[in-house]
Amino acid sequence: MLGTPAYIFSQTMEPALQVLVFAPDARSAAIGDAGIATSADVNSQHWNAAKYVFAANNGGVGLSYTPWLRDATSDIDITYLSGFYRFANNQSLSASLRFFSLGTIELYTEDAQYLQSIKPSEYAFDIAYSRRLGRYFSGGITFRYINSSKVIADNTGSAVVARTSNIATDVAFYYQKPANMFGEDIEIAFGTTVSNLGTKLEISDSAVYFLPMRLGLGLRAACNINSENKVSAIVELKKSLVPSNSGYRNSDVPGAAIKGVFSDFSQMIYVVGAEYSYKNALVFRTGYHRESKLLSDNSYITFGIGAVYENLHFAASYLFVTGNEKTAMNNTYRISFAWLFGSIRRYDL
């Protein structure tokens, strides 16, 4: 019989597969985990695939790495590989692979005898299609395959190895248009997404979890100060669509998602961020992220930089937890690299 491991996922952890909502790339992480309405980049697959048809480049590939929860452990990390190709000037195909290594877990018997060490992990493979629905408007749909292998607690409190697979989808829309405000030429953008609508994670009859379904809204305004300087401001609101009521396990996915749109407004995430670009080559970023108490009560400030050299792009971010209690997320950093092909007209990574 399996005993309690050194690291265990409790049944009270709702919803499952939270890695699906972790910011995988350094650019978005640097602006408070915002990406729904930011300008298109190689990592738009995670945030809003509809943005790809507005990308300045014809395509690209990117790789991001996050050492996760380094204040608590040294062997958990997230790797994210993404790519896109824009064709016919109004359509795009994209794909991504996210791998979440959960480190090493040691299993023991009830009398503290060592059994074995395992290395559970989760990964998700996405493929998306997007197209213009108008001159300034686009839509996208993402299909996701998820595979999870990790240790949870069963009904008796013992540790069991759970392996399961799920499918999910995202639906996204994006609007981007030049405008004039107070005599200044600006670019405004609006995005909305419904993400991780998919089958439940079923471990046993008493352990059934929803995926982290979310509704997201984003707004961006960008202004060219002059030929060398550009600044953008970003605001995002996100809402969990998983009902907080303890009886939600018996709800079907569509019913729970619809209910989540119109209820549980205490499950909100608020993000504000900004980007400043110099000569389309050097970028400075910052943001603030706040989650409601019913979700995690996390709040943090983020910083980051970006640099461009011809087709190669680099970004790095750093997270500083605010408040009196420092969580294990404190001091989280991310790095991202990208290679873009086709015309290069923007600084975005």
Banded model confidence at residue 69, pLDDT cuts 50, 70, 90: confident
Task: Work out the percent of the chain whose per-residue pLDDT is above 70.
Answer: 79
The residue with greater pLDDT, 3 or 265, is: 265
Banded model confidence at residue 10, pLDDT cuts 50, 70, 90: very low
Q: What is the pLDDT of residues 95-123, one digit of tens each?
A: 999 999 887 777 766 677 776 777 778 89
Q: Is 302 helix (H, G, I), strand (E, B) or coil?
A: strand
The CATH class of 18-341 is mainly beta
Contact 61, 140 (CB under 8 A): no
Q: Is 183 helix (H, G, I), strand (E, B) or coil?
A: coil
Residue range 136-142: mean pLDDT, rounded: 97
Q: What is the pLDDT of residues 330-349, one digit of tens each?
A: 889 999 999 999 865 544 44
* Residue 174: pLDDT over 70: yes
Q: What are phi and psi of 134, to 5 degrees?
A: 180, 180
Structure tokens at 53: 């048809």
What is the C-alpha separation between 44 and 338, in angstroms, rounded? 12
Structure tokens at 92: 């795009």
Give Cα 57 to chain centroid, integer Å. 22
* Residue 14: pLDDT over 60: no
Contact 343, 280 (CB under 8 A): no
Query: In this structure, which amino acid lies at residue 327?
Result: T
- Residue 241 backbone zone (phi > 0: left; psi -120 to 50: alpha; other: beta): alpha
pTM of this prediction?
A: 0.86
Q: What is the DSSP code string of 27-95?
A: HHHHTTS--SSSPP-TTHHHH-GGGGGG-SSSEEEEEEEEETTTTT-SS-EEEEEEEEEEETTTEEEEE
Q: Which pLDDT does position 156 carry in this prediction?
A: 56
β-pairing, 312-321 vs 184-198, is: unpaired
